[in-house]
Amino acid sequence: MKSDPGMKRADLLALAKQAGVRGRSRMTKKQLIEVLAALTEASGEGRDRTPASETPSAEVLPPPPPLPGGPPELPALLEENRIALLPQGPRTAFAYWESSGEYLPDLVLRVVMVPEETEIASHDVRGPIGSYYLHLDQAGIQIEVLLGVVKDGRFHQILRSNRIRLPDDSPSSDLPKFWMTRKDGVLEITPLSKELVRGGALWGAFEDRPPGYPVSSWIRGRGKEF
Amino acid sequence: MIAADWGLFLHAHLPFVRHPEYEYFLEEHWLYEALAECYLPLLRRFYRLRDQGVPFKFTMSITPPLATMLDDDLLRARFSKYLDRTMELAEKEVRRNEGDPAMVRLARFYLERTSIKRRFYEDTLGSRALEGFCSLADSGHVEIVTCGATHGFLPLLAYHPPSVQVQIEVAVKTHRRLLHREPAGIMLPECAYYPGLEEVLAGQGLRFFLLDSHGLLYSKPRSLFGVFAPVHTPAGVAAFARDQESSRQVWSAKEGYPGDPFYRDFYRDVGFDLHMDHVGPYVSPDGTRTFTGIKYHRITGETDQKELYDPDIALEKARGHAANFVFNRERQAEYITGFMDQRPLIVSPYDAELFGHWWFEGPDFLENVFLRMAQSVLRPVTFSGYLEQNPTHQVAVPCASSWGDKGYYEVWLNGKNDWIWRYLHNVAIRMSERARNFTSPDPLRRRILNQMARELLLAQSSDWPFIMTMGTSVAYADRRFRDHIDRFNQLDSILGEGWDEEKLRKIEEVDNIFPDIDYRVYAK
């Protein structure tokens, strides 16, 4: 389904028809190229499949012989109305979407913290199919993304994602409160006595270490070289 | 007096690679090499320790795809042929090197080693490696736990919660069927955790899982004893975490033991070094050169001029490194004990395939660690054994994490592989819809639906996005992913439009994992 800027609009239209793109007859040539490129990207066809060089084995091992026959081509459009949000790291998330409605050139991806519904970021994106990596300022927050259009200064939502919580990237300030005993399949919870918080001494040791320094290396480096 | 418990954890996993449609298939060698160079050498040394009465214990995971392949008749028969070919090549190498005392000594080393390995596999294990691990479990030396059904990356599959549920449920059932026992715990695929996963694990009767260090260090509330004691999640499932120090000594290519210049070099192999007239029958029939397992050189250093390998010196090195490892754990235990009012637990998880495959002397190292530890103040434990003796732990919710680069999910979700997730979620959603719609299908439709479930599970393997990121065998991973999605789509289309039993039979024959699967698990 590869298009290029040298193709005529009629050829691009034929490709768009083959891919099942709705509203194609009203699209400009530029829009057709754009939507076809997005479809190619979404099906993994345009991705770099050359080996990376970071692994030593990549330099030495020969490439495996290709399997007979080409890899099956997967449908670029999945005919669904869906936006999904996936956590990637403490401050990064990945959203992908497909809107089986008509092509809308100027979409907006809004990031909201939930349950407060506070908007924390907004990005201009394109549809009906696409993806976006979100880079956020805060770790450990709970977010959703909304895909929509802005008309007359108002945001009109088309799709809303699932809710995710980003991972934490630092120790919690919450102190332990409970023990749990599991014996013969029975769980028993008891409050943590003050004396037992002497484990805090270990945490004191952890907290003094330089940022990013592995805990056990740091313990080793505190005069106990072994 | 015991100063600390030591929890060795070996994670044994390979993706499901089985191609009955071809006489020879290069990627099937991942299994044969792992068996010949890792699982059998490890088993032989653990059997020897048991015979000597050494009090060793450890925990290991054998993932459902690996267990299925180890149990598979076709792959077992092909592995026997692989051993035969290795024997034949070793014999040829002895003849070729006559007149060169140093080389012929090494060639004889491989011939003898392969011969012992084959006798152990065929005579002691009855050509069933899985039974070897079960025997060690029966004698209480190893605790075998499960993993995801196809090693699916659970935090990203969690977009469609039934996918996670099925990965765990099918894994537990497969463990029961192939290993004849209940799994007490689970190795989360890629050590990847997200808060809430413990509810699914508890629902399947699993009592513990393993995290990377920061999974516990960043828990809420904070863990009292860092990684040196597990916590209980609110669901009652215990979470253990990796000790970084002992991991790095073994894992690290630069600081770790496996990089010692006297250890065997992995990459120099006669499959690449010798003329094709000599090694042709032992590499790929299409002329692609492959590893044969016969390697004459040691790491030497950062040079292409590799020195000859000396197995005796390497064995001495392994013994020395084992002694150093135990000594370091003792010092570590002494120091940590000062901060704790209970005996610390040091958890050391590794990929099983590191020992013997990547690090040739790894099995000797482990054998000697246990021999040394028997004379030390450390006590090797299984995770269940530890929990039985220490039933009380702090309550905490671990932090979302994995053991991949940077500690979170980026290895399995980045610009090289992010395109796969929309397909994975799409087919999973459709699978659940079909499972809810077809409540009592006729036998043929039932077979189609069950095969669709198998294709979905195989597509979910974390190995495909991992390989896409790492850059080796990318074409194979890309092809496998597309094949499973495509087969799912083909089956879905014949489900509604008409029968093609021949097509179904062919797909069932190739992707024959989970013979007892019931697609209705996706309806829940």
pLDDT-based confidence at residue A15 (cuts at 50, 70, 90): confident
The answer for residues whose C-beta is within 8 angstroms of residue A138's C-beta and 6 or more apart is A91, A120, A166
Who wins on pLDDT, B262 or A209?
A: B262
The answer for residues whose C-beta is within 8 angstroms of residue B135's C-beta and 6 or more apart is none
- Chain A, residues 89-118, CB within 8 A of chain B, namely 89-90, 92, 94, 96, 98
At residue B194, the 3 state secondary structure works out as coil
Q: What is the pLDDT of residues A91-145, one digit of tens each?
A: 999 999 998 776 777 899 999 999 999 999 999 998 789 999 999 999 999 999 9
**pLDDT of B498 higher than 80:** no
Cβ contact, residue pair A74, B482, below 8 Å: yes
Residues of B with catalytic roles: 190, 351
Which residue of B396, B400, B485 is in closest CB contact with A176? B396
Q: Does A80 touch chain B (CB under 8 A)?
A: yes
Average pLDDT over residues A50-56: 33
Kindly list the residues from chain B whose CB atom is less than 8 angstroms away from the CB atom of residue A217.
244-245, 248
Q: What is the pLDDT of residues B89-142, one digit of tens each?
A: 999 999 999 999 999 999 999 999 999 999 999 999 999 999 999 999 999 999
Mean pLDDT rounded to a whole number for chain B: 95
Q: What is the pLDDT of residue A200?
A: 46
Cβ contact, residue pair A88, B486, below 8 Å: no
Query: Nearest chain A Cα to B218, which residue?
Result: A171
Cβ contact, residue pair B471, A75, below 8 Å: no
Residue B381: phi and psi, rounded to 5, are -135, 155
Q: How many CB pairs under 8 A join A and B?
A: 229
Residues B453 and B390 in one domain: no
Tell me how many degrees the CA angle A71-A77-A80 measures, rounded to the nearest 5: 135
Q: Is residue B155 included in any domain, yes or no?
A: no
pLDDT-based confidence at residue A68 (cuts at 50, 70, 90): low
Last residue in a domain, options B406, B429, B459: B406
Residues B394 and B437 in one domain: no
Q: What is the pLDDT of residue B494?
A: 87
Q: Is residue B163 included in any domain, yes or no?
A: no
Cβ contact, residue pair B413, A202, below 8 Å: no
Pairing relationship of beta strands B185-186 and B378-380 according to DSSP bridges? unpaired
Who wins on pLDDT, B316 or A214?
A: B316
Q: How far is B64 from B21, CA to CA, in rounded Å?
A: 22
Q: What is the pLDDT of residue A1?
A: 60
Residue B25: phi and psi, rounded to 5, are -140, 120
Which residue of A56, A57, A217 is in closest CB contact with B245? A217
Q: What is the pLDDT of residue A39?
A: 75
- Lowest mean pLDDT across A58-67, A188-197, B221-230: A58-67
Q: What is the pLDDT of residue B464?
A: 98
**Cβ distance B10 to B350 under 8 Å?**
yes
**Cβ distance A44 to A131 under 8 Å?**
no
Residues B372 and B438 in one domain: no
Kindly list the residues from chain B whose CB atom is less than 8 angstroms away from the CB atom of residue A168.
218, 220, 399-400
In angstroms, what separates the C-alpha of B440 from chain A's closest C-alpha? 27
Cβ contact, residue pair B224, A169, below 8 Å: no
Domains, chain A, with CATH or none: 1-45 (no CATH), 82-165 (2.60.40.10), 178-221 (no CATH)
Q: Does B232 touch chain A (CB under 8 A)?
A: yes
Residues B235 and B305 in one domain: yes
Query: Mutate which of A39, A40, A45, A47 to disrupt the B interface (most B C-beta within 10 Å)?
Result: A47
Last residue in a domain, options B375, B406, B437: B406
Q: What is the pLDDT of residue A67?
A: 56
Residues B337 and B442 in one domain: no
Q: Is residue B151 included in any domain, yes or no?
A: no
Q: How far is B187 from B145, CA to CA, in rounded Å?
A: 7
Share of chain A above pLDDT 90, in %: 38
**pLDDT of B168 higher than 80:** yes
Q: What is the pLDDT of residues A164-219, one digit of tens each?
A: 999 999 999 888 878 888 887 788 888 765 544 444 444 444 444 444 433 333 33
Last residue in a domain, options B362, B388, B406: B406
Q: What is the pLDDT of residue A47?
A: 57
**pLDDT of A221 higher than 70:** no
| Total tally of structural domains belonging to chain B | 2
**Cβ distance B267 to A59 under 8 Å?**
no
Q: What is the pLDDT of residues B331-389, one digit of tens each?
A: 999 988 888 878 999 999 999 999 999 999 999 999 999 999 999 999 999 999 999 99
Cβ contact, residue pair B475, A66, below 8 Å: yes
Domain of B443 in residue numbering reads as: 413-523
Token pair of B519, please?
């697609």
Cβ contact, residue pair A66, B399, below 8 Å: no
Assign residue B40 the CATH number of its domain: 3.20.110.10
- Lowest mean pLDDT across A44-53, B218-227, B278-287, B460-469: A44-53
In angstroms, what separates the C-alpha of A58 from chain B's closest C-alpha? 6
Assign residue B489 the CATH number of its domain: 1.20.1430.10
- What predicted TM-score, i.e. pTM, was given to this entire model? 0.90
**pLDDT of B45 higher than 50:** yes
Give the residue from B102, B77, B103, B74 showing the smallest Cα distance to B90.
B103
- Lowest mean pLDDT across A7-21, B246-260, B289-303, B325-339: A7-21
**DSSP conformation letters of B77-112:** HHHHHHHHHHHHHHHHHHHHTTT-HHHHHHHHHHHH
Q: What is the pLDDT of residue A63?
A: 42
Q: How far is B59 from B47, CA to CA, in rounded Å?
A: 15
Cβ contact, residue pair B220, A174, below 8 Å: yes
Q: How far is B20 from B8, CA to CA, in rounded Å?
A: 36
Beta bridge partners of B12: B62
Q: Is residue B259 included in any domain, yes or no?
A: yes
**pLDDT of A34 higher than 50:** yes
Q: How far is B168 from B521, CA to CA, in rounded Å?
A: 11
Who wins on pLDDT, A26 or B468?
A: B468
- Chain B, residues 26-55, CB within 8 A of chain A, namely 26-27
Cβ contact, residue pair B413, A178, below 8 Å: no
Q: How far is B337 from B411, CA to CA, in rounded Å?
A: 36
Q: How many CA atoms lie within 13 A of B26 on its CB side?
A: 20
**Cβ distance A168 to B218 under 8 Å?**
yes
Q: What is the pLDDT of residue A5?
A: 67
Who wins on pLDDT, A77 or B260?
A: B260
- Lowest mean pLDDT across A4-13, B30-39, B372-381, B469-478: A4-13
Query: Nearest chain B Cα to A166, which residue?
Result: B400
Q: How far is B69 from A92, CA to CA, in rounded Å?
A: 37
Neighbour count for residue A118 (Cβ, 10 Å): 11
Cβ contact, residue pair A74, B486, below 8 Å: yes
Query: Nearest chain B Cα to A199, which residue?
Result: B224
Neighbour count for residue B21 (Cβ, 10 Å): 10
Query: Nearest chain A Cα to B469, which residue?
Result: A52
- The ipTM estimated for the assembled molecules is 0.94
Q: Is residue B92 included in any domain, yes or no?
A: yes
Average pLDDT over residues A61-76: 67
Mean pLDDT rounded to a whole number for chain A: 75
Who wins on pLDDT, A85 or A26?
A: A85
Residues B364 and B494 in one domain: no
Residue A195 vs residues A192, B219, B392: alpha-carbon distances, Å: 8, 21, 16
Q: Does B415 touch chain A (CB under 8 A)?
A: yes
Q: Does A17 touch chain B (CB under 8 A)?
A: no
Q: What is the pLDDT of residue A10?
A: 79
Residues B350 and B446 in one domain: no
Residue A18 vs residues A21, B399, B485: alpha-carbon distances, Å: 8, 46, 20
Residues B325 and B418 in one domain: no
Q: Is residue B284 included in any domain, yes or no?
A: yes
- Lowest mean pLDDT across A23-37, B22-36, B119-133, B388-402: A23-37
**pLDDT of B23 higher than 60:** yes
Q: Does B236 touch chain A (CB under 8 A)?
A: yes
Give the residue from B230, B171, B180 showing the smallest Cα distance to B206.
B171
Q: Is residue B276 included in any domain, yes or no?
A: yes
**Cβ distance A87 to B193 under 8 Å?**
no
In angstroms, what separates the C-alpha of A160 from chain B's closest C-alpha? 14
**Cβ distance A65 to B287 under 8 Å?**
no
Residues B332 and B437 in one domain: no
The answer for residues whose C-beta is within 8 angstroms of residue A161's C-beta and 6 or more apart is A83, A84, A85, A95, A144, A145, A146, A147
- Chain B, residues 146-185, CB within 8 A of chain A, namely 155-156, 159
Share of chain B above pLDDT 90, in %: 90
- Chain A, residues 109-168, CB within 8 A of chain B, namely 131, 162, 165-168
Q: What is the pLDDT of residue A164?
A: 98
User: What is the maximum alpha-carbon separation in chain A?
Assistant: 79
Q: What is the pLDDT of residue B476?
A: 94
Q: Is residue B167 included in any domain, yes or no?
A: no
Q: How far is A170 from A187, CA to CA, in rounded Å?
A: 29
